[in-house]
Amino acid sequence: MNYHHQSREFALEAPKTLGMHDIQPYVFEEMRLILELSFAVRYLHGYAGIMVAASHNPAVYNGYKVYGEDGAQLPPADAEEVISYINEIDTELHIPMQDEHVMLKQNQLSYIGHNLDHVYVDYIKGLQQQEKLLEQ
């Protein structure tokens, strides 16, 4: 896989931080579409989802998007609240983080991938079939 500018490492920063607070993060093994992240948050009954992607930024930069438990991107008021917490951080390098390998060993971190892909594709196929039935 071709990661840009340490995207994979950056994508693990949030889960490793959450691990310090006994929050169970799920991380995709490889890059996925935002639509699948939205589905995964709802399917796994997650509180939030985080997408690290260039998106609207130039491709050389990583962007950071947060999605709520409904699978939608945070509305402006909620995003501003998150940003206010981020702005309170003096030095990002001093944020305590759990080690990825320790988290895996203690089942505090779960990698997700192809199994969820199949569930997602089946879900999309089901929607397409429902649409076809409604057209009849």
User: Does 110 qualify as catalytic in the annotation?
Assistant: no
- In this structure, what token pair is assigned to residue 66? 């947060």
Query: Under a CB-based contact definition with an 8 Å cutoff, are residues 38 and 67 in contact?
Result: yes
Rounded to 5 degrees, what are φ and ψ at 65? Answer: -120, 140
Q: Rounded CA gap, 31 and 83, in Å?
A: 25
Q: Rounded CA gap, 18 and 24, in Å?
A: 7
Q: What is the pTM of this model?
A: 0.83
Give pLDDT, residue 2.
46
Give pLDDT, residue 59.
64
- In this structure, what token pair is assigned to residue 87? 């702005």
Catalytic residue among 7, 38, 55, 110: 55
Give pLDDT, residue 4.
58
Closest to 108 measured CA to CA, from 99, 117, 96, 118: 99
In angstroms and rounded to an integer, the radius of gyration of the C-alpha atoms of the chain is 17
pLDDT tens string, the chain, 136 residues long: the values are 445 566 778 889 999 999 999 899 999 998 898 899 999 999 999 999 998 876 666 666 677 889 999 999 999 999 999 999 989 999 988 899 999 999 999 999 999 999 999 999 999 999 888 777 667 6
Give pLDDT, residue 1.
42
